[in-house]
Amino acid sequence: MGLPQGQGPGIPQGESIGLESNHLFIFAPTQDHGFVKFHNMRPRQTLFILFFWLALPLTSFTGVEPDKGAHKFYVSVTTVDYAQEEEALQIISRIFIDDLESVLLERYDLKADLGTPGESEEGITFIERYFNSKFTVFVNGEVRKYTFLGRKYDRDQVICYLEVSGIPEAGLESVGIQNEILMDVFEEQKNLVHLKILGAKKSYVLIRENNKGMLNL
């Protein structure tokens, strides 16, 4: 029997803790920017782990290779910062390469081979197209267009850089992100979003049923 989403100290809506046949499983953040699922552990064994992970702040994440006994997990991590001098939102999104390749193959019939010498020249075009269809930025409740600046690779991840320009600090009241990246392919996909705007911070774990996070200033 699972606990209702969003309950418990430090658990944003969409993150989950559950109990199945007297075995506890949790999705937990790591300090080195990871997100890992502990499962098939008895509640007594996980008591220390549970309190340790929930005590950690939600910062940026990257993927961590699961243990041999762990199930495959699907997660992306996006950070949104406001650059006052540039009057722009600067967005960085980390996605597992193999997951992004899967969606490019399924949606566009493109074998991208990202981050390899044989990478398709069309790869960046279709990544940008996919972002435009699944990733939306809201400023003061209105949709704002962003520029896809580019991408780079870091081991098993692709890091995408976006920017929304022309946002003066005066009058900036809220910033929202709707992130459906990979949710059309992986039912268990979780997209972590960390908003840091003018000293205010908020983090979300977005899922299919709740794919939008908002920071009011």
pLDDT at 73: 80
Among residues 193, 172, 209, which one has the least CA distance to residue 94? Answer: 193
For residue 77, what are its two tokens? 């991590």
* Separation between Cα atoms, residue 72 and residue 168, nearest integer Å: 42
Predicted pLDDT at 71: 38
What are the boundaries of each domain within the chain?
A: 1-72, 75-216
C-alpha–C-alpha distance, residues 210 and 217, integer Å: 21
What digits encode the pLDDT tens for the residues 171-210? Answer: 999 999 999 999 999 999 999 999 999 999 999 999 999 9
SS3 content of the chain, % helix, strand, coil (to 5): 15, 40, 40
The whole-number average pLDDT for the span 141-161 is: 95
Using an 8 Å Cβ cutoff, are 181 and 76 in contact? yes
Phi and psi at residue 182, to the nearest 5°: 70, -5
- 37-83 tens-digit pLDDT: 344 444 434 433 333 333 333 333 344 444 444 437 899 999 999 99
**Which two structure tokens, joined as six digits, stand for 174?**
């809220």
